[in-house]
């Protein structure tokens, strides 16, 4: 197998240029433009990871994310790494070799959950539903009865299909059959309700770069007491930090040192047991994301995303475009749109980017080249951003020969915002 190709810099001196990228409006499935207040917080001077001021910030961050996740879980914290790393950290820390894991897959990121669980040594069974649809509880219950897993893993929202899996009742169902529930909410959290305690979810992993309006690189998580205990029974303190009388946990040692959530729990705890050097700037950003969200008010944020979703749907339909998938189950922060027959989807995306500095998304796998994904989330879930994007899309589509009434899309979106 040959190594992948690396194209050399066209200008060897460009690396010495000051960073000054073109100002893009990121209206794809994520990342999106960070809230300026988050960027400001991230410019705060660094502190040592055991400075009392910094330890207080860690506690404040935990409290803010408990409010964000609507949970009383003690173990609600921020992991250093992207949202994908958090999925893997939790799975690697709770799954022991041979454990049964049921994955409910309705898109590309269900496939990712399957792969990560397999890499953790699990005995994985995957149930599928057609892309553009979601599961009902009866489908999942049938698999629980037949397979008896220790863990069920699913996404709340899958950006590849723009679908939102209903989660109410799923945690209780999993517990009835002796399974814990892990939810990847990277794509959806902050844009739609996710009451963790009410829905009895054992682990939620997330990211900042979508509805939380921050950069990728820090991952908020919350763990139920059941999940936290299952992880902590595998606690093994590394050499050099062990004290007299240390007794390791009863479970097998977690295979990764960096992704060992049991050791990270010790790090965030009152014991402050050293693990890694905290990504200080990212924690500042994560704290500010949650502070802004909680200060605005959960219901207000959800309403803002719902209004943006309604406007995007009205706008694209006004341009004689079709929305992808079951509209009743679509994510409020991302809308899939069929590319019209005879239109080059990538040419449209390039024109939006190069002529208007607006980015919208393509899609994966069976939807690649068939669907655009338009996001309106976080800092960009605003009327001006939505109308600007739809106006530019109208201009580009008209230039490409798509047939529709000029102005109808923007007018419909504007009307949707007013009603």
DSSP bridge partners of 67: none
Residues 373/334, Cβ–Cβ less than 8 Å? yes
Same domain, 195 and 331: no
Does some domain include residue 7?
no
pLDDT in tens, 361-384: 999 889 999 999 999 999 999 999
pTM: 0.96
Q: Is the dihedral angle over the CA atoms 232, 233, 237, 242 positive or is it negative?
A: positive
Residues 333/377, Cβ–Cβ less than 8 Å? yes
What is the pLDDT of the chain when averaged over all its residues?
97
Domain span at residue 205 reads 36-294
Same domain, 257 and 362: no
Same domain, 198 and 345: no
Does some domain include residue 30?
no
pLDDT in tens, 225-246: 999 999 999 999 999 899 888 9
Same domain, 247 and 304: no
Phi and psi, residue 318, nearest 5°: -65, -20
Does some domain include residue 8?
no
Q: What is the 3-state secondary structure (H, E, C) of 120-155?
A: CCCEEEEEECCCCCCCCHHHHHHHHHHHCCCEEEEE
CB contact set of 28 (below 8 Å; sequence gap of 6+): 359, 360, 361, 373, 374, 375
Q: How confident is the model at residue 141 (pLDDT cuts 50, 70, 90)?
A: very high
Q: Compute CA distances 260 → 214, 238, 266, whole Å.
A: 25, 11, 10
Same domain, 290 and 360: no
Q: How confident is the model at residue 27 (pLDDT cuts 50, 70, 90)?
A: very high
Strands 123-128 and 100-105: parallel
Query: Quick check: bond before 31 cis, omega within 30?
Result: yes
Mean pLDDT of 131-140: 97
CATH number at residue 401: 3.90.1150.10
Cβ atoms within 10 A of the Cβ of 404, count? Answer: 15
CATH number at residue 99: 3.40.640.10
Residues 138/166, Cβ–Cβ less than 8 Å? no
Does some domain include residue 265?
yes
pLDDT in tens, 151-166: 999 999 999 999 999 9
Label residues 93-122 b or e (16+ Cβ within 10 Å = b): bbbbeebbbbbbbbbbbbbbbbebbbebbb
Q: Write down the pLDDT at residue 413.
A: 98
CB contact set of 189 (below 8 Å; sequence gap of 6+): 68, 69, 156, 204, 206, 210, 211, 212, 220
Q: How confident is the model at residue 103 (pLDDT cuts 50, 70, 90)?
A: very high
Strands 203-205 and 163-164: unpaired
Q: How confident is the model at residue 12 (pLDDT cuts 50, 70, 90)?
A: confident
Does some domain include residue 24?
no
pLDDT > 90 fraction of the chain, expressed in percent and rounded = 97
DSSP string covering 54-100 = HHHHHHHHHHHHHHHHT---SEEEEEES-HHHHHHHHHHHHPPTT-E
Same domain, 277 and 302: no
Q: Is the dihedral angle over the CA atoms 217, 189, 67, 104 positive or is it negative?
A: negative
Q: Write down the pLDDT at residue 235.
A: 96
Q: Which long-range contacts (CB under 8 A, 24 or more apart) does 409-414 make?
A: 409/315, 409/316, 409/317, 409/318, 409/319, 410/315, 410/318, 411/318, 412/314, 412/315, 412/317, 412/318, 413/311, 413/312, 413/314, 413/315, 413/318, 413/386, 413/387, 414/311, 414/387
Tokens of 399: 């230039």
Does some domain include residue 11?
no
**What total number of domains does the chain contain?**
2
Distance (Å, whole) CA 30 – CA 19 = 21
Same domain, 224 and 317: no
Residues 410/391, Cβ–Cβ less than 8 Å? yes
Given 261, 294, 327, the domain boundary residue is 294
Mean pLDDT of 305-317: 98
Distance (Å, whole) CA 217 – CA 219 = 7
Same domain, 324 and 379: yes
Q: Write down the pLDDT at residue 369.
A: 93
Q: Write down the pLDDT at residue 245.
A: 87
Distance (Å, whole) CA 104 – CA 176 = 17
């Amino acid at each position: 197998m040959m190594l992948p190709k690396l194209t050399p810099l066209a200008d060897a001196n460009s690396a010495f240029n000051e960073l000054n990228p073109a100002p893009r409006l990121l209206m794809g499935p994520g990342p999106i433009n960070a809230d300026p207040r988050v960027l400001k917080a991230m410019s705060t001077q660094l502190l040592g990871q055991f400075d009392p001021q910094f330890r207080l910030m860690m506690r404040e961050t935990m409290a803010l994310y408990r409010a964000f996740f609507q949970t009383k879980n003690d173990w609600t914290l921020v992991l250093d790494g992207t949202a994908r790393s958090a999925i893997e950290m939790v799975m690697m820390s709770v799954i022991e070799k041979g454990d049964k894991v049921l994955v409910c897959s309705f898109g590309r990121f269900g496939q990712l959950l399957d792969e990560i669980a397999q890499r953790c040594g699990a005995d994985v069974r995957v149930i599928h539903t057609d892309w553009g649809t979601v599961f009902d509880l009866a489908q999942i219950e049938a698999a629980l009865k037949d397979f008896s897993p220790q863990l069920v893993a699913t996404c709340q929202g899958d950006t590849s299909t723009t679908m939102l899996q209903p989660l109410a009742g799923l945690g209780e169902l999993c517990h009835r059959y002796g399974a814990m529930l892990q939810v990847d909410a990277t794509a959806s959290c902050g844009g739609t309700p996710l009451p963790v305690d009410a829905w009895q979810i054992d682990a939620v992993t997330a990211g900042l770069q979508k509805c939380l309006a921050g950069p990728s690189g820090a991952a908020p998580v919350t763990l139920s007491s059941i999940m936290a205990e299952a992880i902590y029974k595998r606690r093994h303190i590394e050499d050099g930090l062990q004290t007299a009388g240390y007794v390791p946990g009863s479970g097998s040692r977690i295979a990764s040192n960096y992704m060992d959530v049991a050791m990270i729990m010790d790090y965030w705890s009152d014991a402050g047991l050293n693990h890694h050097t905290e990504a200080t700037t990212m924690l500042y950003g994560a704290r500010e994301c949650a502070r802004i969200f909680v200060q605005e008010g959960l219901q207000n944020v959800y309403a803002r995303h719902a209004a943006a979703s309604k406007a995007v749907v009205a706008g694209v339909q006004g341009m004689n475009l079709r929305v992808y998938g079951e509209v009743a189950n679509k994510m409020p922060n991302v809308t899939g749109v069929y590319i019209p027959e005879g239109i080059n989807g990538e040419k449209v995306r390039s024109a939006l980017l190069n002529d208007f500095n607006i980015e919208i998304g393509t899609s994966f796998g069976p939807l690649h080249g068939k669907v655009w994904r338009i996001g309106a989330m976080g800092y960009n879930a605003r009327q001006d951003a939505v109308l600007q994007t739809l106006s530019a899309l109208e201009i580009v589509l008209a230039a490409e020969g798509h047939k529709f009434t000029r102005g109808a899309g923007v007018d419909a979106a504007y009307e949707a915002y007013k009603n």
